[in-house]
Amino acid sequence: MSRTFSIGGIHPSDNKISVNAAIENFPLMEMAYISLSQHLGAPAEPVVAKGDKVKTGQLIAKANGFISANVHSSVSGTVASIEPLPDLAGNPVQHIVIKVEGDDWLENINRSSEIEREIKMSGPEILAKIAECGVVGLGGAAFPTHIKLSPPPGKKAEYLIINGAECEPYLTSDYRLMLEQPEEILIGAKIMMKALNVNKCFLGIEDNKPKAIKKMKGLCSKSYPQIKVVSLLKKYPQGGEKQLIDAIVKRQVPSMGLPIDTGVVVQNVGTALAVYEAVQKNKPLFEGIVTVTGKCMTEQRNFRMRVGTTFESMIFAVGGFPKDAEKLISGGPMMGKAVSRIDASSVKSTSALLLLTEKETKRGEEGNCIRCAKCVEACPMGLEPFLLNRLSRAGKTEELEANFVQDCIECGSCIYTCPANIPLLDTIRLSKAQVLKMLRTRPKK
């Protein structure tokens, strides 16, 4: 029996049309546009200058502050400029632009595909190596991994959960990774267990990926007995951190709390691979798996892609811009971001480029709330989106706080399910910002 989280959730059709597309290497680009804000926290500080020669994997910007991450060159060549360029939303962000010349990797990166099973480093050495290699969470938020693996004083991790749910429709990058590099993921998990000093790990996979479940179960029972594969119900947002913890260990992260408050650390399968590569192969995080998909496209592909590839080149690699594609999404259709500039480039946590037609993505005309309570039923946090929307439009910040607007995880289930097409999450997002502002000005008790 598949497990699931206890409150709410929706069942969008999963549309995993790229499911059979094996991972292939994306052709090297001519110019790489590497963002210095690829992670949650402060932008990295450049350590190269215009005209410098860099090698693939070389550090080009270093973490700046506690929550920040190193950035490495994804290509070899010459630094052409360091300048603000638009990110996918069109906001200027500092980028290092590198003119690609060949593909000359740093010598200390182990490029063999042979699996390194023995973990030689100690816990603190592992954390240092992960930080050095600029590994960030690849499940979406891009939170620096070494910080997440270092619980704050007084908190102790009991379990590690590896997130292989991939509950977003269309995405198959994590799935392909689990099929094609399963053992590397499991070794990555073991490395993180060592860093966290825990001896129990769960790997959660939605039951619409039976092949991945079977493969991982086989490997775990043979060689990785501390890792238990858990089959999860296909239900959105099963891969949400709080929902995953609830589904697997039956503990709920307290409101305004962190997963570590339940003794759990969650990491994505892509992150597990990045950790493996950093610790066992000395390879910094500068490439990742990206699904390029859409029903309007003739080809569905999964690429291993260097960071700093433009969305434009991804579209041209799969046969050009389909006539009827009107919306580009970086990530999945439920939580991904709409791309406003196709000349913007990929970052470490880019998991997909999804092309949708206007018909697929159009929001219907907004009607009156009919109080059907479908949003209440769908909300995985047990909130009342209809009420939050009403309070938000009335500007009632205090009441919004009293109705726990800050607990919203922005999964979008409420909008998805609303028959009156009310932009519930849009107004809730605005309210969250308002409430946060109010909380910040409030004197501490």
Partner 1 sequence: MKKLIVSPAPHLHGEKTTRNLMRDVIIALSPSLLVSVYYFGFSAVKLALVGAVTAVLVEFVIQRYIIKGKITINDYSAALTGLLLALNLPPNSPWWIVFIGSVVAIGIAKMTFGGIGQNLFNPALVGRVFLLVSFPAIMTDWTIPASWFREGIDANTGATALSIVKEGLAKGIPMDQIFSENNFSYTQMLFSKIGGSVGEVSAFALILGFVYLLIRKVIKPHIPVAIIATVMVFSGIFWLIDPGHYTDPLFNVLTGGILIGSVFMATDYVTSPMSTRGMVFYGVGIGIITMLIRNFGAYPEGISFAILIMNACVPLINTYFKPKRFGREVNNG
Residues that bind partner 1 (CB under 8 A): 6-7, 10, 12, 89, 169, 242, 246, 251-255, 257, 261-262, 321, 326-329, 333-340, 342, 354, 356, 358, 360-361, 363-364, 367-374, 376-377, 379-384, 386-387, 404, 407, 410, 412, 415-417, 419-421, 425-426, 429
Q: How far is the CB of 384 from partner 1 (least distance, A)?
A: 6
Q: How far is the CB of 370 from partner 1 (least distance, A)?
A: 5
* Token reading at 266: 């969650």
Task: Please say which residue, 195 or 244, places its beta carbon nearer to partner 1.
Answer: 244
Task: Please say which residue, 35 or 262, places its beta carbon nearer to partner 1.
Answer: 262
Task: Please say which residue, 50 or 337, places its beta carbon nearer to partner 1.
Answer: 337
* Token reading at 138: 């690849």
Task: Please say which residue, 97 or 249, places its beta carbon nearer to partner 1.
Answer: 249
Q: How far apart (Å, rounded) are the C-alpha atoms in residues 430 and 258?
A: 22
Q: How far apart (Å, rounded) are the C-alpha atoms in residues 340 and 426?
A: 18
Q: How far is the CB of 292 from partner 1 (least distance, A)?
A: 16
The amino acid at residue 62 is K
CB proximity list for 176: less than 8 A, separation 6 or greater: 21, 22, 23, 289, 302
Q: How far is the CB of 441 from partner 1 (least distance, A)?
A: 25
Q: How far is the CB of 195 from partner 1 (least distance, A)?
A: 23
Q: How far is the CB of 198 from partner 1 (least distance, A)?
A: 16
Question: Residue 374 — φ and ψ, nearest 5°?
Answer: -65, -35
Stated length of the chain? 445
Task: Please say which residue, 12 or 284, places its beta carbon nearer to partner 1.
Answer: 12
Q: With helix as H, strand as E and coil as C, how does the chain read? A: CCECCCCCCECCCCCCCCCCCCEEECCCCCEEEEECCCCCCCCCEECCCCCCEECECCEEEECCCCCCCCEECCCCEEEEEEEEEECCCCCEEEEEEEEECCCCECCCCCCCCCCCCCCCCCHHHHHHHHHHCCCECCCCCCCEHHHHCCCCCCCCCCEEEEEECCCCCCCCHHHHHHHHCHHHHHHHHHHHHHHHCCCCEEEEEECCCHHHHHHHHHHHHHHCCCEEEEEECCCECCCCHHHHHHHHHCCCCCCCCCHHHHCEEEEEHHHHHHHHHHHHHCCCCCEEEEEEECCCCCCCEEEEEECCCEHHHHHHHCCCCCCCEEEEEECCCCCCEECCCCCCECCCCCCEEEEEEHHHHCCCCCCCCCCCCHHHHHCCCCCCHHHHHHHHHCCCHHHHHHCCHHHCCCCCHHHHHCCCCCCHHHHHHHHHHHHHHHHHHCCCC
Q: How far is the CB of 338 from partner 1 (least distance, A)?
A: 4
Q: How far is the CB of 415 from partner 1 (least distance, A)?
A: 6
Cβ-contact 392, 431 below 8 angstroms: yes
Q: How far is the CB of 243 from partner 1 (least distance, A)?
A: 8
Task: Please say which residue, 93 or 329, places its beta carbon nearer to partner 1.
Answer: 329
Taking CA atoms, 162 is separated from 159, 244, 323, in Å, by: 10, 10, 39
Task: Please say which residue, 152 or 364, places its beta carbon nearer to partner 1.
Answer: 364
Q: How far is the CB of 329 from partner 1 (least distance, A)?
A: 6
Task: Please say which residue, 163 or 330, places its beta carbon nearer to partner 1.
Answer: 330
Q: How far is the CB of 13 from partner 1 (least distance, A)?
A: 9
Task: Please say which residue, 256 or 439, places its beta carbon nearer to partner 1.
Answer: 256
Task: Please say which residue, 56 or 392, places its beta carbon nearer to partner 1.
Answer: 392
Task: Please say which residue, 222 or 323, places its beta carbon nearer to partner 1.
Answer: 323
